[in-house]
Amino acid sequence: MSTETGFFQEILTTLENANRYLELPPAIYERLMTPRRSLIVSVPVQMDNGRVKYFTGYRVQYDTARGPAKGGIRYHPKVTLDEITALAALMTWKCAVVNLPYGGAKGGVACDPTVMSRDEKKRLTRRYTYEIAFLIGPESDIPAPDVYTDEQTMAWMMDTYYMIKGYSIPGVVTGKPVCIGGSLGRDSATSDGLVITILEALKTLNMSIDGLTVTVIGFGKVGYHAARILHGLGAKVIGVADSKGAVYNAKGLDIKALHKHKEASGALSGFKEAGDSSLDELLAIPVDLLVPAALEGQINMTNVKRIKTKILAEGANNPVTTEADKVLLDNGVFLLPGVLANAGGVVVSYFEWVQDLQRYFWDETEIKNRLTSIMTKAYHEVLRISVDKKVDMRTAATILGVQRVAEAIRVRGLYP
C-alpha cells in the first residue's frame, strides 16, 4: 500500500484529475466519491488446534449503476477497509473502461493464509461466505479470486452459497474450476489481456516484441503468465522479483524453468541459470518494459527514481503511487494503467458469468478472440482520449470509465 497517502485518497485524486476534463454535476461527482455499501463482518474460525480465532472480513460495493457489482476476494494480513474501498472503486472504473455491464466491488479477509492449513482456509472461506451471503448473488454481486485466493476458494464459496439457497447457482462466483461451471481461459486471462495491451502499445510506439527487454515484479499467477507469454512471443525477460527476492540474467530467463524452480524450492533465489538480486537492484536495470504484477504501491517515492523503462504496464491494481506516477510521466514513461491493462481477468469473468447464466459454454479459441477484441477496442478508446485531451493514459482511462458510470447514474436518476 502507498506510504505517502491513503490508498482510497489516491483513487479520489485520480478521480479529481479526470473530473477536470469531465466537469460532472456536483451531485454525480459526490456520489462517485462515496461507496454505495460497505460491510464489515466478524469471521470466527475453528483452527486445527481447536481454538477459535476471529478474523475481520470486508465487502464493499462501490457503484452498481451499470449492473451487478463485480470484484475479487483477497486474503492478506494487510487487508483494510481503506484498501478494499479503493480496489472497489478501481473495479468500478475498470468494468466501465472495457464496457462490461457491471458495477465495482471488492472483498477480503485480514489473515495470513501462508500459515494456515487447507482446512483452516476452507473453514474461513465458508464462514466469510455465510456472513456476506445476503449481499452476493448472480444478479447482485459476483465475487472472484484475487490475492491468495484461487479457483478452490471460489468452489468453496459457490458450495456454501448452494447450501444456503438449496440449489446450485454457478453464476454466484467466477474464477471457479471448469468442472463446476468455470470458463476455459480464465486462469491466464489477466495476463492475456495485459499482453494484448502491451502489443498495442508497442505498435503505438513503433517498437518490436522481438528482443524486448522486460522486468516483471511479482511471480504469482499474473506475473508468471505474463512473463511466460511475453517470452514465448520473443521478448527477453531479464529480471523477475517476488516478495522474497529477485533473479537476473542479462541474456534472458527461461520462464518455465524458473517457475518449476520456485515451485520446488519456494523461492526464486538459487536458480542456477541466473544471479540472485534484490528488488531495488532489479528496478535500477534499464529495460524496455516493466511489469509490476504484485500488490499496490510497490512503485513509490523510495524507488521510482531508479526506474529506467520505456513502458510500464500495470499487471497489479495501482502498483504505482500518485507521487511516483508524476515522476514516471516526467521521465517520459508510457504507462498502461491497471484499469485498462489488467482488465482481462474481469472480461473473462464476465464471459464465465454469461456462460453460467445460459448454461452454454464456449471453446477457448472463441474466448481468446472475444478477449482480444474487447481489450484492443478499449486500448484505442483510451489512447484516443489521451491524444485528444493531451493527458496521460491513466487519466484518459479514468475519464473513459468515470464518464460511462456517470452517464448511467444520470439516466437512472435518484430514488425516490
Euclidean distance between CA atoms 370 and 20, whole angstroms? 33
Euclidean distance between CA atoms 52 and 30, whole angstroms? 42
Entry pTM:
0.94
Region of 295 on the Ramachandran plot (φ > 0 left; ψ -120 to 50 alpha; else beta) = beta
pLDDT tens for each residue of the chain, 416 residues long: 444 568 999 999 999 999 999 999 999 999 999 999 999 999 999 999 999 999 999 999 999 999 999 999 999 999 999 999 999 999 999 999 999 999 999 999 999 999 999 999 999 999 999 999 999 999 999 999 999 999 999 999 999 999 999 999 999 999 999 999 999 999 999 999 999 999 999 999 999 999 999 999 999 999 999 999 999 999 999 999 998 889 999 999 999 999 999 999 988 999 989 999 988 999 999 999 999 998 888 999 999 999 999 999 999 998 999 999 999 999 999 999 999 999 999 999 999 999 999 999 999 999 999 999 999 999 999 999 999 999 999 999 999 999 999 999 999 999 99
Instruction: Tell me the pLDDT tens digit for each residue of 235-251.
Output: 999 999 998 889 999 99
Q: 142 in helix, strand or coil?
A: strand
**Catalytic site includes residue 106:** yes
**pLDDT at residue 244 in the model:** 86
**pLDDT at residue 31 in the model:** 97
Taking domain 35-169, whether its CATH number is 3.40.50.10860 is answered by yes
Helix%, strand%, coil% for the chain, nearest 5: 50, 20, 35
The one catalytic residue among 53, 78, 94, 106:
106
Give Cβ neighbours of residue 326 (< 8 Å, ≥ 6 apart): none
**pLDDT at residue 295 in the model:** 80
Q: Where are the domains of the chain?
A: 35-169, 189-341
CA atoms within 13 A on the CB side of 223: 27
The CATH code that applies to domain 189-341 is 3.40.50.720
CATH topology agreement for domains 35-169 and 189-341? yes
Instruction: Tell me the pLDDT tens digit for each residue of 382-413.
Output: 999 999 999 999 999 999 999 999 999 999 99
